[in-house]
Structure 1
Amino acid sequence: MKTQIIQLESHDDVDSVKDKMNWSQTPRILLVWLDHGNVLTSKLDLLFLLRYAEKLGGQLAVVSHNPIIKSNAKDLGIPLFNNTKSAQIASWRKPKSLLTKFVFISKVLRLKQKNRTEQIDGLSKYVHKPSQKLLKHWAIRLSIFTLGVLSVIAIVAFLMPKAEIQITPNTVEQEIILDITADTNIKEPNINGIVPASWYPITVEGRYQIPTTGTTKIPSEYSRGMVTFTNLTENTIFIPKGTIVTTLGESVIRFETSEDASVTKENPKVKVPIKAIRPGIEGNVDKETINAIEGSLGLNLVVNNLQPTDQGAFEIFSSPTAADRAKLYQELSATMQETAKKEISTNLNDGDILLTPYPILEKDIQVIYSPASESPSEYLELKLRQEYKALIADYHNIRALATMTLNSNIPENHTAITGTLTIEDLTTPVLYDHEIAKWQIRVSRKLEKPIDTTQATKICLGLPIDQAIDKLNDNFSLKGTPIIRMSPSWWPRMPFVPFRITFSKKEL
């Protein structure tokens, strides 16, 4: 029978050999291995080639002196020859035992690749089946049942119990007294005890009034009198009502005539009543002091008062003085400074420190007195708007400095308990140069030595509850007795596996 001989090369693999087998036109395919090299030495590779040959409808045989190839071919039931000549002459029938083994291996590999459950039935005939008669014996069946029950009990005892251990490590107090300096030129707190300070501006408004203590004279009546006009010409001169006559000197007092009059050549003099232009006692002048006439009439007439003028008067009213204004400003400013302090304190965050005893006045924005001058008034009112500023130290910066200092002095193997930091002012801040403040504080917090839960778990595994508590007390520094809660509550021993034990901190 014709045989297709395929000479394997050192670079061949399963795929390349399959390609060569595709060209075969004979039912028998002979694979010839080289005397050297390790080409396709895997049993699985040889099995794939065997199955591919069967798929092509042919038979596969091997020529090789490699002991591994020969062993694999023997295990798979593939005909094995020493040379190509003997392979071409001989018949390629497989031994029945080898064929059976090959079928079994093929089915196992097919089962792994396709994962089909229906193929398990096809392999069941190769599996040794226990004697049904033996399994029906009551002692064997009871033993198997008892073993199963004990196994379930063991698993439950091993995995079911759960323990929660509540413990509280002993705590110690850490305390340090710090000298604090707050400086407006510093941006970040540092370990030297310096924290940033900043100005807090605020604008406040206020209104206040006080009784006036001064008096002022207010003219109330006009001065009156008589003047005599004398004609200096031979003509008749008409003197209309409202003609202005005045005194001479630096402080001129002006009067006006109250009626019309005339002077002639025959009657060159005439008396005319006058009234002061402005009310008040300033219009009460001595006799012979009104000697001037305003206007063109003064060229033709002379005037004189032969009697003093009188009836000019004033009234006295309450009015503010400069001292009243100063007092009102001082009192209202003090009140507004207190208001500014309260508002700043209200607006500050919890823990922020006000470094100035009182806010500092930056400037007056608006100052309005009523009345504005020495006008009559029983009360003086001031509307004031001012800008203040106060020096503050932020609590977060103080806290950061406190934490930084405490951390640099923490005992070995201790950790801080969150939320226990306290800050207490020992002195009142003192301001220097309006930009630096110094004071003293006490900072403290609680520390604990953490419990190694891994070690604690190991020493408790499988112990009775009381012994586990004693072990924890003996090996760790605890505050109070540990509390162990078992689930189920009646279980007498600690779990045997670490992941069934949990820890929590007990608050005292």
Structure 2
Amino acid sequence: ASGEVIFANRTDQPVIVPKGTIVRTGSGVNARFATVSDVEVPGKLYAHARVGIVALDPGPVGNAQPLTINIVEGDIGYKVDVLNTSPTQGGTVRRTPVVTAEDFERLSAKLLEQLTRDAYAQLVGELEEGEFIPAQSLDVRIMSQTYDQVVGQRSAVASMTMKVVARGTAVDGKALEQLAIQFLIQRGAEGEELQIIPNSLVIHRSEEIEKDRDEILFSVQARGMVTPVIDIARLQAHLRGKTIAAAEAWLRENVMLAVPPQVSVQPSWWERLPWLPARLKVHILAGET
């Protein structure tokens, strides 16, 4: 807050009131002010001179009503009286944001989270076809971080620069698929050769991953449709020209089947299978393992 006061001479000698002279209110809220320049009061009793003042304390406390500033501090007060004929104004309260240590902590955590996502996306973009990186295998380390402000600085924003290095463990998805296939086909009976039906394999990876230095451990569940390895050309060669009953009997005796075979001929009144192997269609229905 600022304003103006009048100094009145209490003597018959000129009086110089120096810059920085302190004046204050005599009642109510104690508001103190300092003169902004030197002022000379003429050498005559009750002669007066005006000078500007500024509040020593910020805020509304410096807004003094007229005729309330009436005390001069220091020895100069024996020579002059003081009074304000108009109010002092301009003292306000304004919220000014200040950067705190907690602001930097939150900013650092948020930026690290964003950089981690960006790093993971960049690593994934560099993978070969069929590869994948488990998110839990990502290792992000802060190399440097600098803040653009300091704690206690007046600022509406807090900003910083952070550099990180990230690495993750890439897994060959095709190799994992082959491993799952081998596991499934090895579940057959001893001596039984199985094969996976194309497009039937489903693999579920566990979200929980254990890290051991550069290795990662996770569980995998695989499900697929399997069937014995059947030589279609051999079947066609043995079945051609047979009756439906003979073909079904041969299949039961020579092929390991979970359910009885079904043989049909088109047109339905024809009693035997075609002689040409190319006209024999073999359909294999597989179960799930």
Q: Deviations over 1:369-396 (max 9, x none)?
A: 9xx717xxxxx5667887777655546x
Relative to 1, partners in 2 of residues 1:471 and 1:335: Cα closer, same or farther, differing over 3 Å?
A: same
Are 1:500 and 2:279 counterparts? yes
Aligned with 2:218 (options 440, 447, 469): 440
Q: Find out whether 1:286 has 2:64 as its counterpart.
A: no
Query: For residue 467 of structure 1, what is the aligned residue in structure 2?
Result: 246
Partner of 2:178: 403
2:278 and 2:180 map into 1 onto residues whose CA distance is 39
More strand by share: 1
Cα gap change, 1:505/1:470 in structure 2, threshold over 3 Å: closer, same or farther? same
Taking structure 1 as the reference length, the TM-score comes to 0.36
Compare CA radii of gyration and give the structure with the larger one.
1
- Counterpart of 1:25? none
Secondary structure class of the residue paired with 2:263: strand
Residues 243-322 of structure 1 aligned to structure 2 (within 5 Å): 245-246=19-20, 255-256=36-37, 272-276=49-53, 278-281=54-57, 286-288=73-75, 306=80, 314-322=91-99
Post-superposition shift, 1:464?
1.0
Between structures 1 and 2, the one with greater helix share: 1
SS of alignment partner, residue 463 of structure 1: coil
Aligned residues: percent identity? 14
Measure how far apart 1:468 and its partner are. 0.3
List aligned pairs for 1:310-389, cutoff 5 A: 314-323=91-100, 326-331=101-106, 352-355=133-136, 373=154
Match of 2:270 in 1: 491
Contact 1:358 1:390 in 2 (8 A): yes
The 3-state SS of whatever aligns with 2:252 is helix
Structure 1 regions of 5+ residues with no counterpart?
A: 1-219, 233-238, 248-252, 291-303, 375-379
Distance 1:483 1:389 in 2: 63
Within 5 A, what are the aligned runs for 1:447-462? 447-462=226-241
- Deviations along 1:230-251, one digit per CA (max 9) or x if unpaired, are 669xxxxxx9xxx97346xxxx
Note closer, same or farther for the CA distance 1:421–1:497 as it changes in structure 2 (3 Å cut): closer
Separation in 1, partners of 2:204, 2:52: 82
Deviations 1:69-96 (A, max 9, x none): xxxxxxxxxxxxxxxxxxxxxxxxxxxx
Q: In structure 2, what is the equivalent of residue 417 of structure 1?
A: 197
Q: How much has 1:463 moved relative to structure 2?
A: 1.7
Alignment of 1:12-411 (within 5 A): 220-222=1-3, 224=5, 226=7, 245-246=19-20, 255-256=36-37, 272-276=49-53, 278-281=54-57, 286-288=73-75, 306=80, 314-323=91-100, 326-331=101-106, 352-355=133-136, 373=154, 392-394=168-170, 397-404=172-179, 407=182, 411=186
Alignment root-mean-square deviation, CA: 5.3
In structure 2, what is the Cα distance between the partners aligned to 1:461 and 1:492? 12
Letter in 2 for 1:503: V
Structure of greater relative contact order (alpha carbons < 8 Å, 6+ residues apart): 1
Letter in 2 for 1:462: G
Q: Distance in 2 between matches of 1:506 and 1:487?
A: 20
Cα deviation for residue 272 of structure 1 reads 3.1
| In structure 1, distance between residues paired with 2:212 and 2:4 | 66
TM-superposed CA distance for 1:353, in Å, is 2.1
Query: Which residue in the other structure is 2:65 paired with?
Result: none
Q: How many angstroms apart in 2 are the aligned matches of 1:443 and 1:340?
A: 32
Q: How many residues align?
A: 246
**Contact 1:338 / 1:358 at 8 angstroms: preserved in 2?**
no
SS of 2:74's equivalent?
coil
Q: What is the aligned partner in structure 2 of residue 176 from structure 1?
A: none
The one-letter amino acid of 1:373's match is: R
Q: List per-residue Cα deviations over 1:430-468 (Å, max 9, x = no partner).
A: 4567xx463321243544331122332233232211220
Partner Cα separation in structure 2 for residue 305 and residue 281 of structure 1: 26
Hey, what's the Cα distance between the residues in 1 that align with 2:178 and 2:282? 28
C-alpha distance in 1, partners of 2:149/2:250?
82
CA distance in 1, matches of 2:278, 2:205: 48
Q: How many Å separate the matches in 1 of 2:119 and 2:257?
A: 46
Q: Distance in 1 between matches of 2:276 and 2:169?
A: 54
Residue 400 of structure 1 aligns with an amino acid whose one-letter code is A
Aligned equivalents of 1:421, 1:475: Cα separation in 2: 28
Give the C-alpha shift of residue 271 in structure 1.
5.1
Question: Aligned residue for 2:26?
Answer: none
Could you tell me whether the CA contact under 8 Å between 1:360 and 1:388 is conserved in 2? yes
In the TM superposition, residue 476 of structure 1 has moved relative to its aligned partner by 1.0
Mark the runs of 5 or more structure 2 residues left unpaired by the alignment.
22-33, 63-70
